[in-house]
Structure 1
Amino acid sequence: MTSSQPLDMTLSRVFGEVAETYHAARPGYPDALIAEVLSYASLTGPAGLPAVEVGAGTGKATLPFAALGTPMLCLEPDPRMADVLRRNAAAFPDVRVEVASFEDWRPDGTRFGLLLAATSWHWTDPATRWPRVHDALAPGGAVALFWNPMSVVDPALHAALAEVDRRHGLTLSPHAGLVSSYGDTPGHWPGMLGHWPDEECRRDGRFTDLRSLRIPERARYDTDRYLGHLSSISLYRALPDDLRDHVLADTAAVLDAHGGGIDIEHLHDLFLARRA
């Protein structure tokens, strides 16, 4: 993949197969990140305008923004994910859900004060995404793109899991990197190197006040929760059922042999920019 090529878009539709598991097992985003986005958006941004979320999924990022009173339009291309999102956001009347990809959606003259994408920006089309962001935002509106990759704390557990991945021909699994192997800057992790949005945004030339920051967070997953997390990821969803079962069984055996779980560090990496 190069910076001008999107990922295989067919993989972006596999999450709906396990929408409930996705919501239960996927990590969320810390309060500090939500506060950082809202603070940045309010600095010089237009007051009172709603936010639009690209690839909202089941609402892992939607809900904390909505809980703080942010009116939101959520774009989600998979109707199964959208159904779960509607149920999860039922308590927030200012959250609307539209089944649409970012590429198919038309703002029809509506302008937003904030556009956000939580672990979904890499599924959008590089050829059109920044013009679409520009068209969706009011002057001064903010864009917030963020991810939460995980890195493994224990070197011995990392080595054992790497052997499982090697045996089954997997690359870039969530546990592919040790904490010590990650760089100190946002976007410096396997799968993102060379694809951090800063360069693309600067080339567009219509955005200002570009910022990148990282918020680390330690967490522990027990074996069942971690297997649920893996089951919700496109790398594992794309495997034939029998192979996926073998991979998950081998992974579970390793985790159970190392204390029944995995200690990880989430690297909540955030990119911010503003329509000039």
Structure 2
Amino acid sequence: MSTRALSFGAIAEAYERFRPGYPEELFELVAAYAGRPLRTALEIGAGTGKATRLFAGHGVAVTATDPDAAMLAELRRTAPAHVTAVRAAFEELRPDGGPRDLVYAAAALHWTRPRGRWPRVAALLEPGGVFASFGGPVQLADPAVEEAVRAARAPFLASDEVPSPDGTAPDRPMQWPGTELRRSPLFGDVRQAVVGRRLTMSAREYVGYLSTVSAYLQLPEPVRRKAYDAVAGALPGTVEVTADLVVHLARRRPG
């Protein structure tokens, strides 16, 4: 796991406060794809437990894993009693406790090491079990506001986007990790879906969200503060954002 991935721990409280949660439609999509009860799950890179609470709220016994102690401290504060929190990077996980019905990652899979990724996931799943990955950027809906923010940010940060891990162009019909899953002999029935979200945030909340984005966290602290101030100065009091979730689903093949 990269240093950039581990940068989130220092801002765990902000992550919990400013990152959007996950909607019921997401659980319904995963459950419908599974086609059978989801009793047990393992979560990769659980962070402060935004997705943990969604799945656990439907009675799923979630083992929530994350390498960062500060993130897990926030998760334990709000997680239901049937959630087990484990401090571990994905690469350190072993199939102890038996295979799960579901393994999922919420805006975290791109931080995992590519080599051996899919054999590791498959080892954590029972045959026919479901893998799900979901996430997406929070983007300003008004093009004029987006352009003003881009210009204000430019002296400090050229882009705050996370590029596709395998270089898939954004206009391709199948995005990563679906591209990798389709190439893996361990998984089948690979699907991609979108859960639409449109949210309203105050300017302060939007800058708070940016304070959890890894591209900003990699800037030296004085530069980061200047970038936040510049963005805040370009924003109206309230902004509309799109926060669509791109969901990838796959099923572990038998054997």
Gaps of 5+ in 1: 1-7, 175-181, 188-195
Quote the residue 1:260 is aligned against: 237
Q: Which amino acid aligns with 1:95?
A: V
Q: Which amino acid aligns with 1:56?
A: A
Quote the residue 1:193 is aligned against: none
SS at match of 1:210: strand
Query: Does residue 206 of structure 2 align to residue 216 of structure 1?
Result: no
Quote the residue 1:108 is aligned against: 96
TM-score after normalising by structure 1: 0.84
- The whole-number CA distance in structure 1 between the counterparts of 2:172 and 2:54 is 27
The structure 2 residue matched to 1:270, chosen from 223, 236, 247, is 247
Query: Does residue 61 of structure 2 align to residue 80 of structure 1?
Result: no
The Cα offsets for residues 152-171 of structure 1, whole Å up to 9 and x where unpaired, read as 22121111111122222331
- The whole-number CA distance in structure 1 between the counterparts of 2:92 and 2:150 is 39
- The whole-number CA distance in structure 1 between the counterparts of 2:8 and 2:157 is 21
* Residues 198 and 271 in structure 1, CA contact (< 8 A), matched pair in contact too: yes
Q: Which amino acid aligns with 2:178?
A: D
Gaps of 5+ in 2: 163-169
Quote the residue 2:48 is aligned against: 58
TM-score after normalising by structure 2: 0.91
Let me know the Cα RMSD of the aligned residues: 1.8
* Residues 186 and 213 in structure 1, CA contact (< 8 A), matched pair in contact too: no
Identical aligned residues as a percent:
37
The structure 2 residue matched to 1:165, chosen from 150, 153, 156, is 153
- The whole-number CA distance in structure 1 between the counterparts of 2:96 and 2:172 is 41
Residue 40 (structure 1) shift: 1.6
Quote the residue 2:185 is aligned against: 205
- The whole-number CA distance in structure 2 between the counterparts of 1:166 and 1:19 is 26
- The whole-number CA distance in structure 2 between the counterparts of 1:113 and 1:262 is 39
Q: Which amino acid aligns with 1:40?
A: Y
Residue 49 (structure 1) shift: 4.3
Residue 35 (structure 1) shift: 1.1
* Residues 28 and 60 in structure 1, CA contact (< 8 A), matched pair in contact too: yes
Query: Does residue 14 of structure 2 align to residue 37 of structure 1?
Result: no
Residue 173 (structure 1) shift: 4.5
Residue 34 (structure 1) shift: 1.5
Q: Which amino acid aligns with 2:5?
A: S
The Cα offsets for residues 60-79 of structure 1, whole Å up to 9 and x where unpaired, read as 10001111111100111001
- The whole-number CA distance in structure 1 between the counterparts of 2:3 and 2:145 is 32
Quote the residue 1:143 is aligned against: 131
* Residues 6 and 68 in structure 2, CA contact (< 8 A), matched pair in contact too: yes
SS at match of 2:29: helix
* Residues 112 and 138 in structure 1, CA contact (< 8 A), matched pair in contact too: yes
Residue 109 (structure 1) shift: 5.9
- The whole-number CA distance in structure 1 between the counterparts of 2:64 and 2:108 is 12
Quote the residue 1:68 is aligned against: 58
What is the count of residue pairs matched by the alignment? 246
TM superposition outliers: structure 1 runs of 4+ over 4 Å: 182-186
